[in-house]
Structure 1
């Protein structure tokens, strides 16, 4: 009220306070309901977000048990000399538990070429007076270098090394001096028997830097031939064109780094990775139990005091909403069911030793109160005797994790059940905002109306007061009015 501070100035009555009290009462009536509804909607939106987040966290923990992730193998390597690496290895989920003695006889290597002694006296020597082309080939790979008239040995080195088509040829120049002079040295990264680097040309002037001449004789000599890697695995000889042996032992990849010392071989042990499985299953259980706690918090009812009337604790932001409890009920059904595609003796969480307790949480119990075997006993036995069946139960195409993932996706995906609920709440919040704006306009109009009416009343009362004062003044001026007569 822009002029409300002056209201009542004419009549002297507290009309300003009267209008303020009326406006405040009307504002409380209108905004009380609106603000309460907004607080409820905001809490519901936050609660839905927390539910979605908790479901996602459980889904992420479950994903660590999907596919072949529970079948991972542990690889242990005993090197011949501590502190030095001779071999490395990885094993796929289908590798058999095994142990091998490994001897590295020879590493795979590429070939190495050198130009003839005294062919060049410095890196600035010109290699050709006319244009030509050099072709570099190793195995199935090849690239060309164009040589221009007047190109020096150093310019050739740079052009080879800078070529975008170079498959792994490294050119160097050694300035030995004396009778050796300057040498061009070419090293190829293509390993394996029969993959020697071959250099050919179309200009006899380039024969000095070729292994296949166009003229009389070649100037490049092979000083190191490409060769295979050779290992002995429990005495069985195996070769590879590279230093990596893939499936030389089925489902195991072996990389050799250096020759093993005579009489001192490396040892490779492949076993099941129980510790990782334990960690991931424990994380799965913990994440589900955190989801249970979150839903309990979101759906809890208000608590009352001893008198049964006084509210001593607020309820959860989704109390009365059936969605969270419906989700948990369906999840418990999935977790308690027999799992399709599993082995007969490992087809449920119970067979693995995991059960739901009275609080609706997953646990591996140590109690034998209701069974001859505890959950912990069944869990340990499964790890020792039925390891791959655990991974099958969780990770096959129709396994537990696939079922959980499909179920949670229906709620958390874009356009899913939770997204639709969020959209509905956001629409209600938008409507609540419109209602608040409309209420503000109404209060402003109501205030102006009261101000106008009470300003008129103020003027009327002031006029009446002036009239009264005038009448009183006139009466008091009459002879003998208000004056005591003398006896």
Structure 2
């Protein structure tokens, strides 16, 4: 609020600022109190409605989960030996148990090509390096002046081989540096073979990288005239064997038996052996000691979903209770909830409670109490886990019938809740009205502040003019007194 620089009248001596501030405050107070009250009430209700909508949404989420038939059809798969096998099951899996023995895991092919001197910078003549997996060409690498080193060939394999599941690294051992090629293909007959072809030149031949290389025959002592000749030939043979390419791992299929029936798979993940079950092989089992795989109804998830239903309902009841109750306070005004007397909360609560107690016909269970869910004195629900366990054991599908479907409890409750949370629903309309109230109230505040600023400016001008008038009157008075004192015949007092 704008104010004058003058605080005390020079001629009058009065405190102009205090008088103006008090006058403006007295004028502003009634309207300001009204604006403040409206703003506080609207903001409080807006916050309360937001909290209520959040609680309703959480309850709706719990109902949606409970209303999913697939959650009641879910199956669990438990292995007695998770080190050797784990499993996942779908809704199509049939409850039962299986004896499984894993005798072999599926593996991939990995080979180390012949060792060469010179490390990663060892150079080769230009040509091609063809890599086959299971006898079928998987990759054909062109070697030219841009990549004719061991490192260059490695990089070319990694760049071109991603789609074929091939990778290459360089490993240096006591014989030299080798290209180690790995395939991600598992199963019998998917071994790696390499064929190198290059033009003549002064560098290493790509043919030296062919795998498997030429067959090496150990020397026979009978073919040599002296022991030294034989030893020399044997040393050359041993060196050739050491430098030759090597199979680091061979491709093979997984082998197992399920209840005595043989199963062979190219992968350690088997999805077609047991209907609706995916087997994940981890290790071999001990011979003649099969593990047990048990497929069962997933009662744990259903019980958890029922508990979430109870918890989210209780949260909703807690929010409604807190926002609609009046709390007495000794020697003071009571604390009143933001939604006391509010039709929105009252209608919502009434509709939900009516559905909870409405009996349901046509199934094994007709009321929540039969599932161990009862209403407490404060309106919240309580779940008796033991009673729910008995209900699950009695008729698992009957619980599904009670909660799911168009006439199930979850659908009926959702129908009562949707009008409050949907787009342009009850809460959104109430929120829009309150937001407009706050906006209008803010505009009223701006208008009030402008009027008070104008009033303050006007009062300062008036009091300043008054002080100026007093100053002029004082000057006139002094001048008149001086004139009268100087007139002839005027008797001065002693």
Q: Tell me how far apart the structure 1 counterparts of residues 359 and 141 of structure 2 sit (CA, whole Å).
A: 67
Deviates more, 1:420-429 or 1:254-263: 420-429
Give the TM-score normalised by the residue count of structure 2: 0.74
Q: What displacement does 1:103 show?
A: 0.8
Aligned to 2:84: 86
How far did residue 248 of structure 1 move? Answer: 1.9
Q: Distance in 1 between matches of 2:471 and 2:247?
A: 122
2:139 counterpart residue number: 143
Secondary structure at 1:190 match in 2: strand
Decide whether aligned partners of structure 1 residues 137 and 404 sit closer, same or farther in structure 2, where only a CA change above 3 A counts: farther
How far off is 1:292 after superposition? 0.9
Do structure 1's residue 344 and structure 2's residue 381 form an aligned pair?
no
2-structure distance, mates of 1:200, 1:404: 70
Match of 1:193 among 188, 194, 201: 188
Whole-angstrom distance in 2 between the partners of 1:49 and 1:360: 22
Call closer, same or farther: CA 1:465–1:136 in 2, change over 3 Å: same
Partner of residue 316, structure 1 = 337
**What displacement does 1:285 show?**
0.9
Structure 1, gaps ≥5 residues long: 214-218, 366-375
2:429 is equivalent to residue 428 of structure 1:
no
How far apart are the structure 2 equivalents of 1:121 and 1:139?
26
Distance in 2 separating the partners of 1:465 and 1:183 = 114
| Equivalent of 2:8 in 6, 14, 19 | 6
Decide whether aligned partners of structure 1 residues 127 and 449 sit closer, same or farther in structure 2, where only a CA change above 3 A counts: closer
- TM-score, length-scaled by structure 1: 0.75
User: 3-state SS of the aligned residue for 1:142?
Assistant: strand
Q: Deviations over 1:60-119 (max 9, x none)?
A: 44455353335544443322xxxx81111222344333222221111112245566xxx7
CA 1:47 to 1:473, structure 2 compared with 1: closer, same or farther past 3 Å?
farther
Gaps of 5+ in 2: 200-204, 214-243
What is the RMSD computed on CA atoms of the aligned residues? Answer: 4.4
- The answer on 1:363 being equivalent to 2:382 is yes
Q: Which moved more, 1:465-474 or 1:52-61?
A: 465-474
Asked if residue 327 in structure 1 is aligned to residue 348 in structure 2, the reply is yes
CA separation of 1:35 and 1:273: change in aligned 2, threshold 3 A: same
Note the C-alpha offset of 1:186: 4.1
Deviations 1:170-201 (A, max 9, x none): 446677778xx987654432112343445567
Q: Judging changes above 3 Å, is the alpha-carbon distance between structure 1 residues 259 and 57 closer, same or farther for their aligned structure 2 residues?
A: same
Contact 2:348 2:416 in 1 (8 A): no
Give the C-alpha shift of residue 445 in structure 1: 1.6
> Taking structure 1 as reference, are residues 146 and 335 closer, same or farther at Cα in structure 2, changes over 3 Å only?
farther
Q: Structure 1 stretch 321-330 or stretch 21-30: which is displaced more?
A: 321-330
Q: Which residue of 1 aligns with 2:57?
A: 56
Bigger drift between 250-259 and 353-362 goes to: 353-362
1:437 aligns with 2:446: yes
**8 A Cα contact 2:363 2:402, kept in partner:** no
Deviation at 1:270, TM superposition (A): 3.2
Q: Distance in 1 between matches of 2:179 and 2:100?
A: 38
How far did residue 131 of structure 1 move?
2.6
1:208-247 matches, within 5 Å, as 209=209, 226-247=251-272
Matched with 1:280 is 305
Preserved contact between residue 173 and residue 184 of structure 1 (Cα < 8 Å): yes
Paired position in structure 2 for 1:77 = 79
Separation of aligned partners in 1, 2:354 and 2:191: 65
Does 2:165 match 1:168?
A: yes
- Secondary structure, counterpart of 1:323 in structure 2: helix
Q: How does 1:11-26 map to 2 (within 5 A)?
A: 11=12, 18-26=19-27
Return 247-256 or 65-74, whichever deviates more: 65-74
Judge conservation of contact 1:138–1:190 (CA < 8 Å) in 2.
Answer: no
- Residues 302, 313 of structure 1: 8 Å contact kept: yes
Q: Residue 455 and residue 257 in structure 1: after superposition, are their counterparts in 2 closer, same or farther (change >3 A)?
A: closer
Is contact 2:75–2:295 with CA below 8 Å preserved after alignment? yes
Deviates more, 1:346-355 or 1:435-444: 346-355
SS, match of residue 313 in structure 1: strand
